[in-house]
Each structure stands twice: as C-alpha cells, then as structure tokens.
Amino acid sequence: MKRVDDFRLRLGGKEYVPIMIGGMGVDISTSELALEAARLGGIGHISDAMVPDVSDRKFDTSFVKEKTKLYKFNINNMDKSAVKFDLDRLAEATRLHVGATMQAKKGDGLIFVNCMEKLTMNAPKETLRTRLSAALDAGIDGITMSAGLHLGSFELIKDHPRFHEAKLGIIVSSVRALQLFLRKVSRLNRNPDYIIVEGPLAGGHLGFGIDDWQQYDLHTIMDEIHAYMKAENLDIPLIAAGGIFTGSDAVGFLEKGAGGVQVATRFTVTRECGLPDDVKQEYYRASEEDIIVNGVSPTGYPMRMLKQTPAIGSGIRPGCESYGYLLDATGNCAYINSYNREVQANPGSKDIKVFDKTCLCTHMRNFNCWTCGSTTWRLKDTTHKLADGSYQVLSAEHVFKDYQFSVDNQLALPPAADAAA
Ligand SMILES: Cc1cc2nc3c(=O)[nH]c(=O)nc-3n(C[C@H](O)[C@H](O)[C@H](O)COP(=O)(O)O)c2cc1C
C-alpha cells in the first residue's frame, strides 16, 4: 500500500514532498505555516491578500492608517472611485512580507505566494503588476495565480528578470479555463511550471457556479485535464486540490499521475495557522450541516463558509478608505450597492443588516468570515477533546507528516502530551 512519501513532485529539476499547503488569505496561511511546509520538504504558501494590513500587524508599519487618513474625506461618500492604492506603498508592503518570509526559510522545500486576481483594488492591472513584481523582487520561490482566469497576468511580469526563473503556477477548475490560459501564455513562450486543479470541495472561493458546483468532482476534472495534457504533449505537473483529507485521498490522485496535492483545511486548526484560537475551535466544532456555499462574496464567486460566520448579515459601513481590495476597475464593489439599498430602505436605522453580500475586506481582516473546506466537520476526528470541552490544537508538522506517511485512510492523533503544552 502506497503512501504520499513514495511519490515526489518534480519542479525545475528538483524533487519535493508532493504536499502543498494552499494559500489562505488574509494571513490565515501565515509565514510560520508556509515555513513549516518548506522545512519539511514540501511547498507552503503565504498570501498577498491585504498585504499592507498584514505588514502593519507584523512589522509595525502604518500603511492602512496612512491610507485611511488620506481618504478620510470620502468615508461618508458611497462613491469610492477616488480611493486608490499608492503603488509604491503596495510594493513596499509586499516586499516586507515576502522578504521576511524568505529570509526565515530553512529546509529543502519552497515558499510560494498566492495572488488572487479578484483583488482588483480599483486599478486591476497596475496593482496586480505591482504585487507580482514586488513578490519576485523579494525573492519568492514561486507565485500561484488564483481567483480569476489570469489571462493577462504573465504579460504583466514578462520583463521581470526572474520571469523565467521563479516558479509560476495557476489554479483552474476546468479544462476550459486551462485551455484559455495556455493559449494566452503560449505567445510569451512561458508555460506555467505547475497547474493546481481545484475541485468543488475546497475552501475559499470556488471556480464553479453557485447552483451547479455539486455536479462536479475533482477526480473527473483531473482525468479530463490529464487527457488534454497528454493530447497536447504537455508535461506540467498537475496538483489536485479540494477535499483531500487523508494521505490515502492524496495517494488516490498521485497514483493516477498527479504531481502533488494542495491541502488547506486540515491546517486551519494548527498552531501556525493565523486564525484566532476561538475561531479554530469553531472549525473543530462544526457539523456537516454548518458548512454552506453562498453568494455573499462581492467577487461574484461562490464561497464556502460556516453558516454561523459573523460576516453573514452584518451591515457594517463599507471599509474602502482603509481597505478597498475588491473595488473593481470603476471603483465599485457589490457590497456597496447592497449596503446602500438597505440604508435607503431603513432610513435612520442604526442596525443595518445586509444578507446578500458582505464587506469581505473588513470581515476577512478581522477573521469574521469563516471560510472553510467541505471537510471541516471532520477536523474533530484529527485530535483529542480536552477536559474543558475544547479541542487540542495541532502542530503543522504533525498534520504534514500525517498526510505524508499515513496509509489506509488513517488519521494520526497528536501525542496527548501536546494537550498540556
Ligand atoms: C480558510 C481558507 C482560506 C482560503 N483562502 C484562499 C485564498 O485566499 N486564495 C486561494 O486561492 N485559495 C484559498 N483557499 C483554498 C485553498 O488554498 C486550497 O486550495 C483548498 O482549500 C484545498 O482544499 P481543502 O481545504 O479541502 O484541503 C482557502 C481555503 C481555506 C480553507
């Protein structure tokens, strides 16, 4: 019986443990979590979502405060088109976060950064170019392009000195999206180094329709993409993602030719994960019925989350002067429209409720949007319940090694001594 450790992911002539920990914004996949994956010979992701805010928290910078001050005049104005990002500041924040992570790296693995195209930041092209270039400047090993088709993203960095050296990858959920992407990059003579194929059971945003995601399954999509790659004579590692809960689940994909797997949910309850401790306990406690897919994200993509997430129904004032990561090319965000509608319908009310959309920037920043994978309800089976009714938080190393060495769908429990730590 095979285990994950019997396989290796080959990238650029080197071999890695074929486990990637997926990017989880905003700073849920922390540097500490990514560094553990790299130390153990796999691949970890940080995320550049809301990186000025992440930098403020980690490095005592004041990017968000400065931006808020600059746009204070606009706070009561529902037209947010004036709110822009200073590209130099954005680059500085990215270089701080990426640079510090890379400096701390030990071991044979790699650190990638997850860059979501849907963070359009009221200037989609310019801000994305800045984010990608600054991450390359700061020495990131690779960039995973996510939450969008990224048809123009390689073009944005084609003149960067590290364009061919850094590993560049894309997340797709269908053979169609992959075809579109490959057609675009063929003009640049630069194929992606890896392709993450994310199925409908993943956490975060989903690349499927809100009404039809249940009709898809990761094995089928992987088979279709394998067949396409073979027909096109393309040899690019495919990384399967979404709902892979045990080492045996992973082996099921590796045996069929996947180069690796990307996993995230099991790491949400590790010490190194950025979620606050009480939120980790919410994830542990969740039942299957608590896990829903809804349309509250202003991005337009369905998102999976716990139904008790505080973000749902919250009618806070849009926080674009401080954040504004989802402002589109015209300076609008779907939450602003929903918020305005409710304010107009309830004049004078101090208790505005908005159910159809949420202010994702503010709520992700405050860990009040509990996005999660479909297997979250099984997390309680991966640990010990403590005397006070809470669950023992795990180490990232424990979870990583459980994926790497487990057979027979077994889940290794942590040493109970951990409980006292
Ligand atoms: C809490 C959480 C946050 C996530 N945030 C992001 C994100 O910011 N960008 C992204 O591309 N994927 C995100 N994902 C998806 C993961 O990177 C990963 O591909 C997926 O969840 C793997 O499936 P699994 O969670 O079932 O293991 C997130 C997943 C979780 C659980």
pLDDT in tens, 103-114: 999 999 999 999
Going by pLDDT thresholds of 50, 70 and 90, the confidence category of residue 416 is: confident
Which of 24, 299, 306 most suits a substitution to test ligand 1, by most atoms within 8 Å of the C-beta?
24
In a domain, 389, yes or no: yes
- pLDDT one-digit tens code per residue, 54-102: 999 999 999 999 999 999 999 999 999 999 999 999 999 999 999 999 9
Q: What's the number of domains the chain is made of?
A: 1
Q: What percent of the chain has pLDDT over 70?
A: 99
In a domain, 292, yes or no: no
If phi > 0 it is left, if psi is from -120 to 50 it is alpha, else beta; for residue 122 that is left
Which of 30, 131, 171, 265 most suits a substitution to test ligand 1, by most atoms within 8 Å of the C-beta?
265
Nearest to 321 by CA among 84, 49, 63: 84
Nearest to 235 by CA among 185, 174, 193: 193
Q: What pairing do the DSSP bridges indicate for beta strands 313-314 and 19-21?
A: unpaired
Ligand 1 centroid – CA 228 distance (Å)? 25
In a domain, 291, yes or no: no
d(CA 174, CA 157): 25
Position 314 pLDDT exceeds 50: yes
User: What is the structure's pLDDT at 421?
Assistant: 44
CATH number at residue 253: 3.20.20.70
Distant-in-sequence, close-in-space partners of 56: CB < 8 Å, separation ≥ 6: 62, 63, 64, 65
In a domain, 222, yes or no: yes
Residue located nearest, by CA, to atom 11 of ligand 1 = 146
Helices (H), 62-174: 63-70, 87-103, 124-137, 153-156
In a domain, 273, yes or no: yes
Ligand 1 centroid – CA 22 distance (Å)? 6
Distant-in-sequence, close-in-space partners of 70: CB < 8 Å, separation ≥ 6: none
Mean pLDDT across the chain, nearest whole number?
97
Residue located nearest, by CA, to atom 26 of ligand 1 = 243
The CB of 263 under 6 Å from ligand 1? The reply is yes
Residue located nearest, by CA, to atom 30 of ligand 1 = 203
Residue located nearest, by CA, to atom 14 of ligand 1 = 204
**197 contacts 241 by C-beta, under 8 angstroms:** yes
- What is the number of the ligand 1 atom nearest to the C-alpha of 47? 8
Position 23 pLDDT exceeds 80: yes
Return the residue matching tokens 């003579």.
189
In a domain, 300, yes or no: no
Q: Could you give the C-alpha distances from 347 to 280, 343, 351, in angstroms and in order?
A: 38, 6, 10
- pLDDT one-digit tens code per residue, 376-406: 999 999 999 999 999 999 999 999 999 999 9
The CB of 291 under 6 Å from ligand 1? The reply is no
- pLDDT one-digit tens code per residue, 138-160: 999 999 999 999 999 999 999 99
Burial class (CB in 10 A: 0-12, 13-18, 19+), 141: buried
Residue environment code for 349-388, b if the CB has 16+ CB neighbours within 10 A, otherwise e: eeeeebebbbbbbbbbbebbbbbbbbbbbbbbebbeeeee
User: What is the structure's pLDDT at 420?
Assistant: 46
Residue located nearest, by CA, to atom 17 of ligand 1 = 22
The CB of 372 under 6 Å from ligand 1? The reply is yes
- Cα 251 from chain centre: 23
Position 169 pLDDT exceeds 70: yes
Q: What pairing do the DSSP bridges indicate for beta strands 43-47 and 19-21?
A: parallel
The CB of 375 under 6 Å from ligand 1? The reply is yes
The CB of 23 under 6 Å from ligand 1? The reply is yes
The CB of 201 under 6 Å from ligand 1? The reply is yes
User: What is the structure's pLDDT at 417?
Assistant: 58
Nearest to 304 by CA among 288, 319, 317: 288
0.95 exceeded by pTM = yes
The CB of 242 under 6 Å from ligand 1? The reply is yes
Residue located nearest, by CA, to atom 10 of ligand 1 = 23
User: What is the structure's pLDDT at 286?
Assistant: 98
d(CA 373, CA 234): 30
In a domain, 115, yes or no: yes
In a domain, 219, yes or no: yes
Long-range contacts of the stretch 366-370 (C-beta < 8 A, 24+): 367/28, 367/274, 367/275, 367/276, 367/279, 368/309, 368/310, 368/311, 368/314, 369/305, 369/309, 369/310, 369/311, 370/279, 370/282, 370/283, 370/305, 370/306, 370/308, 370/309, 370/310, 370/311
> What is the residue range of 45's domain?
4-285+381-407
Ligand 1 centroid – CA 82 distance (Å)? 32
Ligand 1 centroid – CA 253 distance (Å)? 18
Nearest to 314 by CA among 280, 339, 347, 340: 339
Return the residue matching tokens 């409710």.
342
User: What is the structure's pLDDT at 105?
Assistant: 98
The CB of 146 under 6 Å from ligand 1? The reply is yes
